[in-house]
Amino acid sequence: MHSCSQCQKQFATRLYLRRHVIAHSSQCKCTDCGKCFSSSQNLTTHRRSHSGEKPFECTVCSKRFTRSGHLVTHSRIHSGEKPYKCQECDQAFSQPCNLHTHMSVHTGDKPYKCSPCDASFSRSCHLQRHKHHAHSNRRPYDCRYCGKRFKRSQDLKRHVYTHTGAKPYSCRHCSDCFTFDVQLKTHLLKSHNEGTWFVCHICQKKFSQSINLKVHLRRHEGVKPYVCSDCQKCFCTASETKHHLLTHSDVKLFCCGSCGKFYKKKTTL
């Protein structure tokens, strides 16, 4: 092992050590936040997060990105390209990380466990996302139109589309347009047979989104990672838990415009 003389961090090769040492140099230090980088190119890319600069634009939907690699990955939404194929079941994915996550379906490997509820996950980022959704009430992102608050910035972004009516995702086979990219993916599968279905290996049921298959598999396995804080009842999804929490609350947010009567649930209204 090769150790850094400044921070004692160890590396397997001298090349990795040399790259790391550069990060201690003031030449590759961000003047806005003090973060250091191993190359001036990485620093330049990082500075875009402060300036808001997004030089790489999608020619289909005009969405912009700070990195060319992010644009390449995004463009696969429109092209339907999925170059990363599973050798076990022939499912294909647009990103290598999605293939890596998918392989846990075959291996059953879920090394990351949630301490509050014992739910297991194949990736650490999935565990962190689960903790954020299931065990945290912090909602730092609020809608400027209606004041509704969200845990994630991307959830707020999707919500704002309901106010603006924007439909940035268009089908190249027909004139249909969609608010969300998942709606376009589902449309391409069902209407134009483009893309890959996610198939349950137990009952062969097909899904257009991997998250729906994941939830479906939980029902086969009896896994219920979301726990009600009031009665400890368990659920398969966060939305089911949120729906259940209304039974413990007297708050009625949905009002009838004709008679003024209030209801707990939108479906009841």
Q: Which of 10, 32, 51 is the last residue of a domain?
A: 51
User: Does the residue 176 lie in any domain?
Assistant: no
- Find the helix or strand (DSSP H, E) in which 47 lies: helix 40-51
Q: Are residues 22 and 75 in the same domain?
A: no
> For residue 26, what pLDDT is reported?
55
Q: Are residues 80 and 126 in the same domain?
A: yes
Q: Are residues 60 and 129 in the same domain?
A: yes
Q: Hey, what amino acid is at 266?
A: K
Q: Please state, in angstroms and rounded to a whole number, the distance separating the CA atoms of residues 133 and 118.
A: 15
Mean pLDDT of 118-126: 73
Q: Are residues 20 and 82 in the same domain?
A: no
Q: Are residues 46 and 60 in the same domain?
A: no
> For residue 180, what pLDDT is reported?
84
Q: Are residues 10 and 34 in the same domain?
A: yes
User: Does the residue 76 lie in any domain?
Assistant: yes
Determine the structural domain holding residue 124 and report its residue range.
56-134
Residue 17 sits in a domain whose CATH number is: 3.30.160
Asked whether 17 and 5 are in contact (CB, 8 A), the reply is no
Q: Are residues 7 and 62 in the same domain?
A: no
User: Does the residue 232 lie in any domain?
Assistant: no
Q: Hey, what amino acid is at 156?
A: L
User: Does the residue 127 lie in any domain?
Assistant: yes
**Burial of 246 per CB tally in 10 Å (0-12, 13-18, 19+):** middle
Whole-model pTM: value is: 0.43
Strand partners, 255: 262
The chain-wide mean pLDDT, for the chain, equals 82
The confidence band for 146, taking pLDDT boundaries of 50, 70 and 90, is: confident
> For residue 265, what pLDDT is reported?
79
Q: Which of 11, 31, 51 is the last residue of a domain?
A: 51
Number of separate domains in the chain: 2
